[in-house]
């Protein structure tokens, strides 16, 4: 029996169709391109900046130091202390360390260092002000109001018109300082108070602060020690100057005058006084003003006598 060929149904015929190609997303190319491009720009800018810093490195090196505020210290002395600062990086140098180095100079009370473009460091110095010539251990030193020793006194400081200050030495048990700050402050307060009257200040020759509660002075042209206590220095010294001529008329050679008591002036002659001299010393202030003796026997409580001491 022969087979019968049936016609093929085209609906069931597999068509040979090639698959369509997938379209690639354009964003897949753009994103990496932007990333690599940005990275390239950053690297290029960094290289440019590095080359610029290298090209202008000399501008960032300190090659100029400006000094201001110095009076006794010369510019050369300040620069000698700052030796090595020139040539360092203006940006990275430690100015605080250089300031501490400058503060080690006894003349420098305070100092400020600041940067100034393109390659400058400005130095402002505040110097210590000597208040007197301290006599310590047989040597003479310039000292400030806190007792800090600035330098040994010598001919180079002859232009200073300063009083000699005794009694500044620190006690042996104190920390390594050679001077006692409290005594220095007492002397400084006395000297500063007299500056209000330049005529009085110019007469000050010596100050002694051995007794912390009794500052004593010697005036130029006189040998008498004048005890002023620890306050009212100017008013007490002026009262002595007002009466000095009358006192010296009665006692030619005075060892000391004590002005610490408001109602009395005590005078001690340098040598044993005679009975007449002792009688002349017992005077009230009003009598000394008039140049006439007060009654020698009875002194009213309200009176202000001048009492003599042996």
pLDDT tens digits, 26-44: 566 666 777 777 777 778 7
Residues 136 and 63 in one domain: no
**Whether the predicted pLDDT of 301 surpasses 50:** no
Same domain, 299 and 248: yes
* Residue 81 in this model has a pLDDT that exceeds 90: yes
Q: Is residue 23 part of a domain?
A: no
pLDDT of the residue at 28: 64
173 and 241 part of one domain:
yes
> Considering the chain, what percentage of its residues have pLDDT values greater than 70?
72
Whether the predicted pLDDT of 284 surpasses 90: no
Domain count of the fold of the chain: 2
Q: Side by side, which strands form the sheet with 283-284?
A: 149-152, 139-143, 132-136, 164-166, 204-211, 214-219, 225-227, 254-258, 265-269, 305-308, 283-284
- pLDDT exceeds 60 at position 265: yes
Give the integer Cα–Cα distance in Å for 114 and 123.
Answer: 7
Mean predicted confidence (pLDDT) in 290-296: 38
Both 252 and 199 in one domain: the answer is yes
Dist CA 220 CA 234 (whole Å): 16
Considering the domain architecture, whether residues 117 and 166 belong to the same structural domain is answered as: no
Q: 159 and 76 share a domain?
A: no
C-alpha–C-alpha distance, residues 233 and 193, integer Å: 7
Q: Which of 127, 156, 177 is the last residue of a domain?
A: 127
146 pLDDT above the threshold of 70:
yes
Rounded to an integer, the average pLDDT of 165-183 is 85
Q: Residues 88-143: pLDDT tens digits?
A: 988 899 999 999 999 999 999 999 999 998 899 999 999 999 999 999 989 999 99
User: Are 155 and 261 members of one domain?
Assistant: yes
Together in a domain, 248 and 181: yes
pTM of the model as a whole: 0.67
- pLDDT, residue 175, reads 62
Asked if residue 275 has pLDDT above 60, the reply is: no
Which comes out higher in pLDDT, residue 22 or 296? 22
Decide if pLDDT at 13 tops 90.
no
Q: Which residue, of 127, 160, 184, is where some domain finishes?
A: 127
More confident residue, 79 or 37: 79
Q: Which helix (H) or strand (E) holds 134?
A: strand 132-136
Q: Is residue 21 part of a domain?
A: no
Cα 239 from Cα 150, distance rounded (Å): 34
Same domain, 266 and 154: yes
pLDDT of 177 reads 80
Whether 37 is covered by a domain: the verdict is: no
- Establish if 273 belongs to a structural domain: yes
Q: Tell me, what's the pLDDT at 42?
A: 77
pLDDT at residue number 5? 59
DSSP state of 85: -
**Domain contains 33:** no
Q: Does 275 reside within a domain?
A: yes
Query: Residue 232 corresponds to which tokens in the numbers above?
Result: 């009212």
* Domain co-membership, 167 together with 288: yes
Q: Are residues 173 and 277 in the same domain?
A: yes
Average pLDDT of the residues in 50-79: 80
pLDDT at 272: 56
Distance in angstroms (rounded) separating the CA atoms of residues 107 and 136: 19
Mean residue pLDDT across the chain? 80
134 contacts: CB under 8 Å, gap ≥ 6 = 140, 141, 142, 143, 147, 149, 164, 165, 168, 179
Residue range(s) defining the domain that contains residue 146: 132-308
Residue where a domain terminates, one of 91, 107, 127: 127
- Is the separation of the CB atoms in 218 and 224 below 8 Å? yes
Q: How does pLDDT run across 199-224, given as a tens digit for each residue? A: 999 999 999 999 999 999 999 988 89
Question: Which residue's structure tokens are 């440019």?
Answer: 48
Asked whether residue 296 is domain-assigned, the answer is yes
Same domain, 122 and 141: no
Gap between the Cα atoms of 240 and 249, Å rounded: 14
CATH of the domain at 286: 3.40.50.11690
The CATH number of the domain where 80 resides is what? 3.10.20.310
305 membership: H or E segment, kind and range: strand 305-308
50 belongs to a structural domain: no
């Amino acid at each position: 029996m022969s087979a019968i060929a049936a016609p093929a149904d085209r609906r069931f015929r597999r068509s040979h169709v090639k698959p369509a190609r997938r379209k690639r997303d354009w964003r897949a190319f753009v994103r990496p391109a932007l990333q690599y491009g940005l990275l390239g720009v950053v690297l290029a800018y960094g290289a440019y900046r590095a080359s610029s810093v290298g090209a202008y490195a000399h501008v960032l090196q300190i090659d100029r130091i400006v000094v201001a505020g110095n009076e006794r210290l010369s510019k050369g002395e300040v620069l000698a202390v700052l030796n090595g600062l020139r040539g360092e990086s203006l940006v990275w140098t430690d100015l605080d360390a250089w300031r501490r180095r400058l503060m080690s100079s006894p003349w420098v009370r305070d100092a400020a260092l600041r940067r100034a473009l393109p390659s400058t460091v400005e130095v402002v110095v505040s110097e210590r002000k000597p208040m007197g010539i301290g006599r310590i251990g047989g040597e003479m030193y310039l000292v400030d109001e806190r007792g800090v020793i600035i330098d040994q006194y010598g001919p180079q400081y002859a232009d200073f018109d300063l009083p000699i200050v005794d009694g500044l030495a620190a006690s042996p048990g104190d920390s390594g300082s050679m001077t006692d700050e409290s005594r220095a402050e007492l002397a400084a307060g006395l000297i500063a108070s007299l500056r209000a009257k330049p005529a009085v200040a110019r007469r000050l020759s010596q100050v002694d602060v051995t007794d912390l509660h009794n500052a004593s002075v010697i005036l130029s042209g006189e040998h008498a020690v004048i005890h002023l206590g620890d306050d009212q220095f100017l008013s007490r010294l002026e009262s002595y100057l007002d009466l000095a001529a009358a006192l010296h008329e009665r006692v030619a050679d005075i060892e000391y005058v004590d002005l610490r008591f408001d109602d009395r002036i005590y005078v001690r002659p340098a040598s044993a006084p005679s009975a007449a001299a002792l009688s002349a010393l017992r005077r009230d202030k009003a009598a000394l003003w008039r140049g006439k003796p007060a009654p020698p026997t009875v002194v009213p409580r309200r009176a202000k006598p001048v009492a003599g001491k042996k």
